[in-house]
Structure 1
Amino acid sequence: MADRAPRILLVDDEQPIQTLLSFPLQRDGYEVVQAADGPEALERFDEQVFDLVVLDVMLPRMDGLEVCRRLRAKGETVPIIMLTAKSEEIDKVLGLELGADDYITKPFSMREFRSRVKAALRRSGMARQETDDERPIEVRGLKIDPGKRTVSRNGDGVSTTYVEFEILAALARSPGRVFTRDMLLARVWGDSAYRDPRTIDVHIRHLREKIEVDPKEPEYLFTVRGVGYRFRDEEG
């Protein structure tokens, strides 16, 4: 990201919305590439490297949730912000479960939109530049390497999204310490003002499905009822 302007893929089927969102992003110094539907978004993604995807849920030919699922299935870890006109919890939860890093419900202010975009790019940039506390963490066959941003279990690679990795690394760096949902929100997003703490529950569930032999009987990620979560310490 240091060698060029951050490149954002903006996916929305309404041209007025594309124009409305593109202008402030370009004014902030970002390169914006537009796509009007799901297949076009995937084509654009194959052609160029993107630092962020802003993805509307309601798209023709292939909806945003399916685009998100396909990108994650390919192992792409680029941050994804979902845009939804619906207030139903199912859209937000499903998007997060499919690998989205954040979501914004329409209508939203340009200030909020720009703030979310800047936060996502800042987190991603910090992930590449961060040098502190990058020693690998190994517990019972699970290896977390903050420097390489990789996770493996018994030698087999585990694909995680940016947010999933940040949550896992934050917990693993302080084994046994209990983190509230708000603490984890602050660790990952920096500012939890616009986010539901239950967002963390979705990501934890997704992580358990990836790293635990039995997600219902976790070895690594434990729930502390009424408080939050902790990572396994040496005493279990």
Structure 2
Amino acid sequence: MSQAAENSSPVVLVVDDEPELRSLLDEYFGRHGFTVYTAADAAEARLAVASRAPALAILDINMPGENGLSLARWMRETQPGIGLVMLTTAGESIDRIIGLELGADDYLPKPFEMRELLARVRAVLRRAVVLAAATPTSPAIAPAGESRRIAFGAYRLDLDERRLRDADGRDIEISAAEFDLLALFARHPNRPLNRNQIMEQAHNRGWDVFDRSIDLRVMRLRRKIERNPDRPELIKTVRNVGYVFVPATAQE
């Protein structure tokens, strides 16, 4: 591949302790127009990211030493815009749930079809492009002190007290399920969440949930926090994906 072609190709980092799988993914994604580099463990991955930040990382969760969940947390903190696809052992739903909590964009259980992984990687990268075009570059959401209070627009969300307040400190009436959904959005600002990711969290918290109930909860949240629920600025719809929480708005 020429240097010019390599520079224009999406850069993907594969982190897995299985050399055969690393080689296979390197060759397969390379044939489909990606620039690929690999790492056998988290330490190698950290060095690789420091040398050249990828657009997306494919991370195996179960690796010797530092596991993929810890590495995903570090990547999300140091490379906020990176796409993360986790490879999990079939049936280990708790790993998938934790991975999504840490900010993973998607997951795929082993063994998997190469075409499905390719499709998921492309989907994550497409969502990143849509998000970059639709959202501001400077997030306005940040923890305030140790109590984990999150400010957005004219509101303050207290994750410890499980309360939503307006600019004057008045409590906004909000159900437990609505709070959990808003907290999920707030922990992943400026990142699109699809319905599967939201439902993973919902089932983990005991919601009786399906696609339509997510849409209804989003609609109720919008009525409580948006200036115009019909033209949302905080919880936006990303067509064919799901929703994205955009705290940096004119409401602030």
Q: What is the TM-score with the length of structure 2 in the denominator?
A: 0.59
- Aligned partner of 1:233 in structure 2 is 226
Aligned mate of 2:103, from 96, 99, 104: 99
Q: Runs of 5+ in structure 1 lacking a partner?
A: 135-145, 168-183, 186-194, 206-222
**Distance in structure 2 (CA, Å) of the matches to 1:149 and 1:200:** 26
**Does 1:151 pair with 2:140?**
yes
Residues 111 and 235 of structure 1: CA distance in aligned 2, closer, same or farther (over 3 Å): closer
Letter in 2 for 1:122: R
Residues 235 and 14 of structure 1: CA distance in aligned 2, closer, same or farther (over 3 Å): closer
Letter in 2 for 1:21: L
Mapping 1:1-236, distance limit 5 Å: 4-74=8-78, 76-128=80-132, 130=133, 134=134, 146-148=135-137, 150-152=139-141, 153=151, 161=188, 165-167=191-193, 184-185=194-195, 195=196, 198-199=199-200, 201=202, 227-228=213-214, 229-230=217-218, 231=222, 232-234=225-227
Letter in 2 for 1:85: T
Residues 161 and 9 of structure 1: CA distance in aligned 2, closer, same or farther (over 3 Å): farther
1:137-167 CA deviation, whole Å, 9 max, x = no partner? Answer: xxxxxxxxx13262332699x99657x6324
Letter in 1 for 2:136: G
**Residue 78 of structure 1, CA deviation:** 0.5
State which structure, 1 or 2, has the greater radius of gyration over its C-alpha atoms: 2
Contact 1:39 1:61 in 2 (8 A): no
Q: Runs of 5+ in structure 2 lacking a partner?
A: 1-5, 142-150, 157-184, 230-252
- Aligned partner of 1:188 in structure 2 is none
Letter in 2 for 1:27: R
Please tell me the root mean square deviation across aligned C-alpha atoms, in Å.
3.4
1:6-48 CA deviation, whole Å, 9 max, x = no partner? Answer: 1001001111111122222001110001000011111111111
Letter in 2 for 1:233: E
| Secondary structure, aligned partner of 2:37 | strand
**Residue 197 of structure 1, CA deviation:** 5.7
**Residue 87 of structure 1, CA deviation:** 1.2
**Distance in structure 2 (CA, Å) of the matches to 1:154 and 1:85:** 37
1:101-148 CA deviation, whole Å, 9 max, x = no partner? Answer: 1100011111111111111112222333x2xxx5xxxxxxxxxxx132
| Secondary structure, aligned partner of 2:71 | helix
Q: Percent identity?
A: 30
Q: What is the TM-score with the length of structure 1 in the denominator?
A: 0.63
**Distance in structure 2 (CA, Å) of the matches to 1:101 and 1:197:** 11
**Distance in structure 2 (CA, Å) of the matches to 1:28 and 1:154:** 40
| Secondary structure, aligned partner of 1:151 | coil
